[in-house]
Structure 1
Amino acid sequence: MHRRRRTALVLTAAIAAAAPLLTACGNEAHPGAAAVVGGQRITVAQLENRVDEVRRAQRAAVPDETQYRQVLASTSSLTRDTLHNMVLDRVLHRAAQDAGVTVSRREVQQMRSGLEQQAGSAKALQTAWLQKYGIAPERLDDNLRLQLEAQKLAARLGTDPSQPAFWKALSQASKELHVDLNPRYGAWDVQKSSRVDARTPWVREVTATGAQQQPA
């Protein structure tokens, strides 16, 4: 494996540990909300729309009924995982803002172009993101922006996502945003991995891939 790829994977593997630092005490104070982050609701309808985007893309990519049912079975936690990622996105974005980190559209496009070259085509990249990370094609640029924010935040702090300083920034952002998760979807807990059954593979691995686009 290329040295830079190995380094990138090590750099971002620890992002999976983000969840323990994101705290909330979900309640029913916000009917119709899947979560409330920074006083802004992530509605159940918004969550369902995100899930539908992924399902439509999966269906288009896997027309065979038997294979599609296998896909459904392997992504049975998609709704909760999607909400987990939607909340984490906002926390990461707030932490980046607090640190004065910005990402330009040009940077996103540069990262995307590099990844498309690695994947072989734009379509291949979209398919890979969908299959590996549950990211619908229309959300790809948003996801890449977050990868860049994570990279830049770690660099601004003079650390990397495996170190406490990075997670301290996310923890502070989480506190500022007063994350409140609907109990229907679980709860964020300091001592556990946020939603215990939630995973964030796109953060754990994708930021690593994106780091390859940065100069050595």
Structure 2
Amino acid sequence: MHRRRRTASVLSAAIVAAAPLLTACGSGAHPGAAAVVGGQRITVAQLEGRVNEVRSAQRAATKDEAQYEQAIAKSGSLTRDTLHGMVLDRVLDRAAKDAGVGVTRKDVQQLRGSLEQQAGGAHGLETVWLQQYGIAPARLDENLRTEIEAQKVAASLGADMNTADGKATFWKAMSEASKELHIDLNPRYGAWDVQKSGRVDAKTPWLREVTPAGTPQSA
């Protein structure tokens, strides 16, 4: 499992490396929206639902309250990371559409089967994805689809993601897709950097991130 760098985790690392330079770009014109991507809303309720899925899975996977608290501490930025993933998925979908590539159910089944063998079974794979990437078991196939989609976009561009040039080519396509979608984040969750095609923290100290009831505030 450790030899294989999941595309989404590589993308996340690139976003984290970007310093929080931007001011909030949210227009405030979309009440109840965590983000608007291509004119379609990702609602706060949808975002909170995704976060609750992960928290429920973390609680089910831990033996006691202390372990659960440790799991929460390790994923303190879960709400912002989850929104980043939800937006990035839509950007990737646009990039895939622009590249003329698609993902089949068979593609997902083949990748999942291979990964389950490496992880020692379905439960092992679900555990790894939950612990390392904050992906709830119910979202695993959806996440693997995104992984394959990213690989196909990179292949269509002739981009080797193991090289700096390949990554630059891939990110250029993602940036173009971001521009096409006119992404608008609610300021409480940060801002969207079109050039890096990722979320960055906005300079809005008077705004707090809103998390589901009973969920500790993100750091």
Length-normalised TM-score, structure 1: 0.80
Q: What is the identity, as a one-letter code, of the residue corresponding to 1:42?
A: I
Aligned to 2:47: 47
Query: Structure 1 residues 177 and 193, CA, compared in 2 at 3 Å: closer, same or farther?
Result: closer
Contact 1:91/1:177, CA 8 A, preserved across alignment: yes
Aligned-pair CA distance for 1:191: 6.7
CA distance, structure 2, for counterparts of residue 138 and residue 124 of structure 1: 14
- Which has the higher relative contact order, 1 or 2, with Cα contacts under 8 A spaced 6 or more apart? 1
Query: Which structure is higher in helix share?
Result: 1
Q: Bigger shift: 52-61 or 25-34?
A: 25-34
1:94-173 alignment to 2 at 5 Å? 94-161=94-161, 162=164, 163=166, 164-173=168-177
CA distance, structure 2, for counterparts of residue 142 and residue 29 of structure 1: 30
* Pair 1:175 & 2:179 matched: yes
Aligned-pair CA distance for 1:73: 1.4
Query: Structure 1 residues 71 and 114, CA, compared in 2 at 3 Å: closer, same or farther?
Result: same
CA distance, structure 2, for counterparts of residue 68 and residue 11 of structure 1: 27
Contact 1:34/1:43, CA 8 A, preserved across alignment: yes
Contact 2:178/2:197, CA 8 A, preserved across alignment: no
Residue by residue, what CA displacement relative to the aligned partner does 1:108-134 show, whole Å, maximum 9, x if unpaired?
Answer: 000000000000010110011000000
3-state DSSP of counterpart to 1:34: strand
Q: Bigger shift: 152-161 or 114-123?
A: 152-161
CA distance, structure 2, for counterparts of residue 13 and residue 130 of structure 1: 13
- The CA RMSD over aligned residues, in Å, is 2.7
Structure 1 portions without partners, runs of 5+: 198-216
Contact 2:9/2:133, CA 8 A, preserved across alignment: no
Contact 2:159/2:170, CA 8 A, preserved across alignment: yes
Aligned-pair CA distance for 1:190: 4.7
Aligned to 2:193: 189
Aligned to 2:14: 17
Residue by residue, what CA displacement relative to the aligned partner does 1:173-203 show, whole Å, maximum 9, x if unpaired?
Answer: 1011111000010111357783336xxxxxx
Q: Bigger shift: 140-149 or 8-17?
A: 8-17
Length-normalised TM-score, structure 2: 0.79
Aligned to 1:201: none
Residue by residue, what CA displacement relative to the aligned partner does 1:32-56 show, whole Å, maximum 9, x if unpaired?
Answer: 0000001100000000000000000
Contact 1:187/1:195, CA 8 A, preserved across alignment: yes
3-state DSSP of counterpart to 1:42: strand
Aligned-pair CA distance for 1:139: 0.4
Contact 2:35/2:186, CA 8 A, preserved across alignment: yes
Contact 1:159/1:166, CA 8 A, preserved across alignment: yes
Structure 2 portions without partners, runs of 5+: 202-219
Query: Structure 1 residues 55 and 41, CA, compared in 2 at 3 Å: closer, same or farther?
Result: same
Query: Structure 1 residues 193 and 41, CA, compared in 2 at 3 Å: closer, same or farther?
Result: closer
CA distance, structure 1, for counterparts of residue 196 and residue 173 of structure 2: 18
Q: What is the identity, as a one-letter code, of the residue corresponding to 2:42?
A: I
Aligned-pair CA distance for 1:67: 1.1
Contact 2:26/2:184, CA 8 A, preserved across alignment: yes
Aligned-pair CA distance for 1:58: 0.2
Aligned-pair CA distance for 1:71: 1.1
Q: What is the identity, as a one-letter code, of the residue corresponding to 1:45?
A: A
Residue by residue, what CA displacement relative to the aligned partner does 1:80-106 show, whole Å, maximum 9, x if unpaired?
Answer: 110011101110111011100111000
